[in-house]
């Protein structure tokens, strides 16, 4: 294990230089008696031995809904609504996904992660990116490392992104993996859009609203592999986090390890081979104007068996503005979060903020703080240009119009508000703390809505 220099941007924003990567090779680490300090979690975050209690999540049978029976759909919407108001977790059965496809997807996880490290590293995730192979995120963080390996890739409906990823990074002999996961992601996409209909019904905004919102989506598929660990009581497979994405559909193998923080303590969601675990993410919490919860969860590891899980994260199209439907906003329920785009939140969690319990709050504050600063800067700039414009006019009467146009142009260049289009006001993307000014076109979004985050949630989605 090699340790090199790390650059700190702020106490919360921690970026490792690309050269600082350490290598997580569980096979080697397992031969040691102790696990390295970087994998040891602080006392108050370590796995709790009493987390064996099962979380009561409804087991939603989708058969009636999928066959279009109205009364079955209403029941399903009610159960889902209750769960999402409490902790945002439920399970679905009779979902229409073939068990053979799920088995094939798990087989490919096993085949990929049992390859030698060097082979897996051909798909190595690059700093600041969300896709590729990551061994314990050792290149990103220097402490509280998760005991796991992941392979993540993008999915968009009716595209060949998944196939292309496998062939591009691992070679033509992995085309079959691409085929399996493309089929799996298409199935997850269909299921998540069905669930979006249920969520729309349960929130009283109609079946079509969220389905249409996510019809075009830029989602992420992640394969999680948790090797056995000689000291499972000291570490975590996935740290406590809420998913910054919109909806997660997870299939876990029969080993178990998923825990959810509910009613003030950690509880378990036991594996059920024919069920998918579904949970609300931060982006959907914002879309529901805070009515549905994106809840804290984590994964523990164990001494005896490796564990696998398949996580499909439904995300909006990158530049779509995330805002709740009008019916969910009113005097009694003012806007809980500012408008944002998924691309802005994704970049925030990838480059500037180690996702934790306060990601959405931190993100909301960042948006508003940066916008406020831009507006202040703009006002003082406008003032100074006006004064110098006036002074210029005293000496150059003939050039008055030109000079004023020039100053107007300079002010426009720095104006925080740019254009109205694509369903809202668009402005230059605020700069994150420590980020250098972007060269060229700096595309972005982010509206100044009164934001008042209601939830302090814990997020370690990236780890
Ligand atoms: O593997 C699990 O059970 C949880 C995985 C997870 O939370 C994640 O990948 O974000």
Whether residue 114 is contained in a domain is answered as yes
pLDDT for residue 455: 29
Which of 101, 98, 113 lies closest to 222, judged by CA? 113
Q: Supply the CATH number for residue 293's domain.
A: 2.60.120.330
CA of 276 to the centre of ligand 1 (A): 12
Whether residue 370 is contained in a domain is answered as no
Q: Tokens for 131?
A: 């896709």
Residue, of 42 and 12, whose pLDDT is higher: 42
Domain boundary among 339, 354, 369: 354
Which pTM value belongs to this model? 0.81
pLDDT for residue 369: 77
Identify each DSSP E strand in 165-257 by its residue range.
219-226, 238-241, 247-252
Whether residue 128 is contained in a domain is answered as yes
Whether residue 375 is contained in a domain is answered as no
346 and 425 co-located in one domain: no
CA of 136 to the centre of ligand 1 (A): 13
304 and 428 co-located in one domain: no
pLDDT digits (tens, 9 = 90+) for 353-402: 777 667 888 898 888 777 676 667 767 777 776 666 666 555 555 555 56
438 and 339 co-located in one domain: no
Strand partners, 95: none
Q: Kindly state the average pLDDT of the residues 155-161.
A: 97
Whether residue 359 is contained in a domain is answered as no
Among 74-88, 126-140, 258-272, the minimum mean pLDDT is found in 126-140
341 and 391 co-located in one domain: no
Query: At 413, phi and psi to the nearest 5?
Result: -55, -35
**Percent of the chain predicted with pLDDT > 90:** 63
Of 106, 296, 299, the residue with max ligand 1 atoms within 8 A of its CB, to mutate for a pocket test, comes to: 299
CA of 110 to the centre of ligand 1 (A): 16
**Tally of structural domains, the chain:** 2
416 and 339 co-located in one domain: no
339 and 389 co-located in one domain: no
C-beta of residue 196 within 8 angstroms of C-beta of residue 210 = yes
Among 20-24, 155-159, 316-320, the minimum mean pLDDT is found in 20-24
Mean pLDDT of the chain: 82
Which of 352, 355, 261, 351 lies closest to 313, judged by CA? 355
What's the CA gap between 388 and 364, in Å, rounded?
A: 36
342 and 403 co-located in one domain: no
> How many CA atoms lie less than 13 Å away from 146 in the CB half-sphere?
23
95 and 174 co-located in one domain: yes
70's CB contacts (< 8 A; 6+ apart) are none
pLDDT for residue 424: 37
Q: What angle do CA 169, 171, 173 make, to 5 degrees?
A: 140
Per-residue confidence band for 50, with pLDDT thresholds at 50, 70 and 90: confident
Q: Kindly state the average pLDDT of the residues 408-419.
A: 51
Q: Measure CA of the first residue to CA of the last residue in the chain; give whole Å.
A: 19
pLDDT for residue 136: 65
Angstrom distances, CA of residue 151 to CA of 31, 113, 132, 316, 355: 24, 9, 5, 21, 18
What residues make up the domain containing 411?
Answer: 385-457
Of ligand 1's listed atoms, the one at least distance from the Cα of 237 is: 1
**Percent of the chain predicted with pLDDT > 70:** 75
Q: Kindly state the average pLDDT of the residues 252-276.
A: 96
Identify each DSSP E strand in 156-299 by its residue range.
219-226, 238-241, 247-252, 258-262, 265-268, 276-280, 297-299
- Annotated active-site residue 5? The verdict is no
Q: Tokens for 392?
A: 């210029």
Q: Is 298 in the pocket of ligand 1 (CB under 6 A)?
A: no
Burial (CB count <10 Å: 0-12, 13-18, 19+), residue 45: middle
315 and 418 co-located in one domain: no
pLDDT digits (tens, 9 = 90+) for 224-245: 999 999 999 999 999 999 999 9
Q: Tokens for 159?
A: 């595209």
280 and 414 co-located in one domain: no
Q: Is 238 in the pocket of ligand 1 (CB under 6 A)?
A: yes
Whether residue 76 is contained in a domain is answered as yes
Whether residue 368 is contained in a domain is answered as no
167 and 277 co-located in one domain: yes
Domain boundary among 307, 335, 354: 354
395's CB contacts (< 8 A; 6+ apart) are none
> How many CA atoms lie less than 13 Å away from 237 in the CB half-sphere?
28
Q: Is 130 in the pocket of ligand 1 (CB under 6 A)?
A: no
Residue 206: strand, helix, or coil:
coil
427 and 316 co-located in one domain: no
Q: Tokens for 309?
A: 């899980």
Active-site option among 211, 307, 354, 427:
307
Q: Kindly state the average pLDDT of the residues 247-256.
A: 98
Per-residue confidence band for 404, with pLDDT thresholds at 50, 70 and 90: low
CB under 8 A, 24+ apart: contacts of 343-348: 343/318, 343/319, 344/429, 344/444, 344/445, 344/446, 345/244, 345/282, 345/283, 346/130, 346/244, 346/315, 346/318, 347/432, 348/432
Atom 9, ligand 1: which residue's CA is nearest? 311
C-beta of residue 410 within 8 angstroms of C-beta of residue 389 = no
pLDDT for residue 129: 81
pLDDT digits (tens, 9 = 90+) for 444-463: 333 333 232 222 222 344 44
Q: Is 457 in the pocket of ligand 1 (CB under 6 A)?
A: no
Q: Is the pLDDT of residue 428 over 70?
A: no
Whether residue 372 is contained in a domain is answered as no
pLDDT for residue 266: 95
Residue, of 195 and 374, whose pLDDT is higher: 195
Q: Is 221 in the pocket of ligand 1 (CB under 6 A)?
A: no
pLDDT for residue 4: 33
Domain boundary among 304, 336, 354: 354
404's CB contacts (< 8 A; 6+ apart) are 389, 393
């Amino acid at each position: 294990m090699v340790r090199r220099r790390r650059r700190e941007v702020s106490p919360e924003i921690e970026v490792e230089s690309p050269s600082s990567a350490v290598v997580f090779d569980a096979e080697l680490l397992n031969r040691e008696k102790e696990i390295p300090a970087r994998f040891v979690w602080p006392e108050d975050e370590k796995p709790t031995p009493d987390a064996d209690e099962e979380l009561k999540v409804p087991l939603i049978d989708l058969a009636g809904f999928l066959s279009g029976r109205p009364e079955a759909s209403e029941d399903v919407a009610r159960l889902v609504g209750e769960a999402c108001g409490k902790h945002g977790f439920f399970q679905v059965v009779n979902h229409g996904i073939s068990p053979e496809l799920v088995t094939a997807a798990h087989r490919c996880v096993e085949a990929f992660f049992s390859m030698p490290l060097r082979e897996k590293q051909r798909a190595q995730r690059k700093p600041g990116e969300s896709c590729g192979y990551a061994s314990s995120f050792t290149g990103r963080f220097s402490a509280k490392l998760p005991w796991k390996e992941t392979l993540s890739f993008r999915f968009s409906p009716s595209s060949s992104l998944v196939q292309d990823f496998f062939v591009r990074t691992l070679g033509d002999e992995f085309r079959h993996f691409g085929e399996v996961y493309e089929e799996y992601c298409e199935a997850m996409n269909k299921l998540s859009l069905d669930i979006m209909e249920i969520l729309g019904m349960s929130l009283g905004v109609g079946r079509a609203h969220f389905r249409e919102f996510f019809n075009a989506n830029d989602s992420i598929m992640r394969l999680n592999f948790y090797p056995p660990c000689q000291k499972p009581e000291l570490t975590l497979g996935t740290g406590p986090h809420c998913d910054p994405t919109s909806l997660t559909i997870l299939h876990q193998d029969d080993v178990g390890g998923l825990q959810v923080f509910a009613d003030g303590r950690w509880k378990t969601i036991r594996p059920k081979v024919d069920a998918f675990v579904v949970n609300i993410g931060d982006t959907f919490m914002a879309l529901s104007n805070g009515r549905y919860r994106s809840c804290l969860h984590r994964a523990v590891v164990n001494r005896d068996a490796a564990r696998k899980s398949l996580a499909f994260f439904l995300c909006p199209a990158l530049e779509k503005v995330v805002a709740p439907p009008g019916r969910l906003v009113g005097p009694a329920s003012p806007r809980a979060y500012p408008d944002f785009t998924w691309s802005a939140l994704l970049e925030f969690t990838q480059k500037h903020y180690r996702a934790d319990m306060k990601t959405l709050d931190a993100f909301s504050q960042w948006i508003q703080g940066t916008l406020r600063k831009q507006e202040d800067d703009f006002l003082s700039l406008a003032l100074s240009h006006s004064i110098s414009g006036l002074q210029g006019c005293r000496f150059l009467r003939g050039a008055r119009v030109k000079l004023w146009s020039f100053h107007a142009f300079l002010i426009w260049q720095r104006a925080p508000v740019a254009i109205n289009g694509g369903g809202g006001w668009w402005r230059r993307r605020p700069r994150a703390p420590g980020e250098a000014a972007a060269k060229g076109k700096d595309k972005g979004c982010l509206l100044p809505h009164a934001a008042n985050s209601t939830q302090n949630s814990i997020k370690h989605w990236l780890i």
